[in-house]
Each structure stands twice: as structure tokens, then as C-alpha cells.
Amino acid sequence: MNTTFPHTDKSWNVSLHGGHSSAFCDHAESALEDIAHAAIAAGCPLYGITEHAPRVEPHHLYDEERAMGWTVETLDQLFTEYAAAVDRLREQLADRIILLKGFEAEVIPEDRYADLMLGLRKRFNFQYMVGSVHWVAGHIIDYRRDHFDLAADACGGVEALAVRYYETVAEMVRRLRPEIIGHLDIVRRHAPSEESVSTPKVRAAAFKALDVIREHECILDVNTGGYRKGFGRPFPAAWLTEAARDRGIVFCFGDDSHRVSEVCLDIPEARRYLLTCGVDAITALQPEGARLTRRTISLT
């Protein structure tokens, strides 16, 4: 299998968090093979595919999944098929692109997610993990506004929810030790305002999470989904990006794609965003034998 990472003028056009696809994710639209070919067409030398981990309790199913008749057994079977599909694609397209085999972790159920996520990693021989927090206080926070409001009510308000979110991120990092931290301030998505989730208390909790991220040498995902959500910036916000920079935390790009049209979308804008935040390089993961190594890529 080809593992040569070519140097080009746009070597930074690399996404390590994306590739959600219609066969394995209810809210994606394009086939996995089509997404891989879109990455090739975009001139992406290396692309990380990171489908969502399956949820294992029925009350965590999405409304759309229930409407399709899906069960937790369905999700487990689809994830099994996903892992095999990535293996096939990596072999088929090895002479055209380096595809990485990853998955995006869930922090539910709270009492046993670590064993579940680490078990999935070992069972399917994943190369890496994206550690993301989508659930706080038993409620999904980036799905719909009403679910976000339920989470805020359970925590005692939006500020308290944001504090708990960053505390959950820190605990997730300690328990999973993921290579990449996904869309760090996704708590912003359904918050009433940017200010409501960046108060002094929230920032203190976020900075503690960054300290844990630095301690475990994780890579911070600069997630271009923020542009598609109408924020005019990627995740995370500049105050978080600059605080991470000051701690020596490194960054990668993630397109968080759920369809062909989103593959590598807005990575040039995210590059300019990082440069304005005083960050002049990203970090990629690349195969070296049976393991992944880090490669620093200049943005200038």
C-alpha cells in the first residue's frame, strides 16, 4: 500500500476528520467511495475517514433512525460494515491517495464509554480516534435546539452546560487518549450567542481542558463545519485557538464531511484563519509501517 506523502504547494490540503457517508450514517448523503474520489479530485494527498461510533442504548437513537426502523443492533452491524469498507477502499485507491482508517468516539453511556470506544478501536484495528463530545448530561447538544435546551436545563443554564461540556472534554481525553480532538467548541452551535458560552467561568473550564489536551499531546481539529453552520469561522473560536497555540498544542484540518460537496470544503479559508491566529503549520498523521507518525506541514 502506498504511504508516500507527496509535497505540493497545497500539502496542507489534508482533512483528518471527515468521510461520514450515507451507508453508515443516517444524516449523511454520499457514498463512502464517492467521498474518497472527491478527496482525490480535490488534490488531497491524505484523507482521514472517521465515521461515528455506534451508540449502544436505544434511548440514544436519533428520531430519524427510529423512523427508519434502525436499532442499536443496526448501528453495530453498519459500523462493522464500515470498517471493512474502509479497508477495501484503502487497498483499491492506494496508488492515488493515502486513506486513514479512523472513527469518531462518543462519550455515552457515561459509565462505560471508555471501555466501549477502546474496544471498538482494538476490534476493528483502527489507526486512530477522533475524540468528540456530542452529549452532555444525557442530551445531545449539536443535533437540534430543543435537545440543547434540555441539556442546558439539566445543567442549570447555558453557562453551566458549557462548563460541563469542557469538563467532559477533559475527562474524555484522559480516558480515551485520542489522537485528535474534534470540533472543540461545538457547544456553540445551538447556544443563544457566542458570549453565552465564552464567559470567564466557561473560559476557565476550556483552558483546563486545553491543559489536558496538551498533556496528552492531542492534535486539535480546526473543523470547517463552522463555516457551513453560518458562524463565519471554523471550530474552535479564535480565543481558544490562540490559547491552544500558546500552550504548544498542534492543529489539523477536518472537513467533517457528510456529502461529496463538503469534502475539503473551506480548508483554504481555515488556513487563512489559522494564519491570522498566529499559527503557521498543521500536523498530519501518516502511515509508517504498522503505526502512524506525525508530519508538520507549513501553511506559508
CATH of the domain at 44: 3.20.20.140
pLDDT at 5: 65
CB 17 within 8 A of CB 50: yes
Please report whether residue 234 resides in a domain. yes
CA 122 → CA 88, 128, 166, distances in Å? 18, 10, 27
Overall number of domains in the chain? 1
Three-state secondary-structure class, residue 59: helix
How far apart are alpha carbons 33 and 188 in whole angstroms? 32
The pLDDT assigned to 102 comes to 98
Contact call for residues 138 and 113 (beta carbons, < 8 A): no
Q: Measuring CA to CA, which residue among 73, 15, 19, 21 is closest to residue 45?
A: 15
Whether residue 168 lies inside any domain: the answer is yes
Q: 108, 118, 124, 23: which is closest to 57 by C-alpha?
A: 108
**Residue 61: inside a domain, yes or no?**
yes
Domain that holds residue 177: 32-298
Please report which residue ranges of the chain form alpha helices under DSSP H.
Answer: 32-41, 63-67, 72-92, 113-124, 145-155, 158-176, 200-215, 225-228, 238-246, 267-276
Which three cell numbers, joined as nine digits, stand for 119? 474496544
Q: What is the pLDDT of residue 109?
A: 97
Q: How many Å separate Cα 199 from the centre of its chain?
A: 24
The answer to whether residue 181 sits within a structural domain is: yes
Backbone region of residue 69 per phi and psi (left: phi > 0; alpha: psi in -120 to 50; beta: other values): left
What CA–CA distance (Å, rounded) separates 130 from 218? Answer: 10
Within a domain: 253: yes
Q: Which three cell numbers stand for residue 265?
A: 470544503
Which of 178, 23, 22 lies closest to 103 in space, CA to CA? 178
Task: State whether residue 33 is helix, strand or coil.
Answer: helix
Contact 20/10 with Cβ under 8 angstroms? no
Please identify which residue in the block is written with the cell numbers 457566542: 194
CA 18 – CA 30 distance, rounded (Å) = 12
CA-CA distance, 233 to 236, in Å (whole number)? Answer: 8
Q: What integer pLDDT is reported at residue 10 of this predicted model?
A: 85
**Residue 54 covered by a domain:** yes
> What is residue 32's predicted lDDT score, i.e. its pLDDT?
98
Counting as low any pLDDT under 50, the low residues of the chain are none
Question: What pLDDT sits at residue 268?
Answer: 97
Tell me, yes or no, whether 3 lies in a domain. no
User: Phi-psi region for residue 264, left (φ > 0), alpha (ψ -120 to 50) or beta?
Assistant: left
Computed over every residue of the chain, the mean pLDDT equals 96
Residue 256 to residue 270: CA distance in whole angstroms: 13
Per-residue pLDDT, 8: 64
pLDDT in tens, 242-264: 999 999 999 999 999 999 999 99
In a domain, 27, yes or no: no
Instruction: Kindly report whether the peptide bond that precedes residue 236 is cis, defined as omega within 30 degrees of 0.
Output: yes
Asked if residue 179 lies in contact with residue 219, where contact means CB atoms within 8 angstroms, the answer is yes
**Backbone φ and ψ of 5, nearest 5°:** -95, 110
The whole-number pLDDT of residue 289 equals 84
Establish whether the linkage from the previous residue to 109 is cis, with ω within 30° of 0.
yes
Cα(283)–Cα(290) distance, integer angstroms? 19
Q: Tell me how far apart the alpha carbons of residues 287 and 5 are, in angstroms, rounded to a whole number.
A: 9
Within 10 Å of residue 276's Cβ, how many Cβ atoms?
Answer: 11
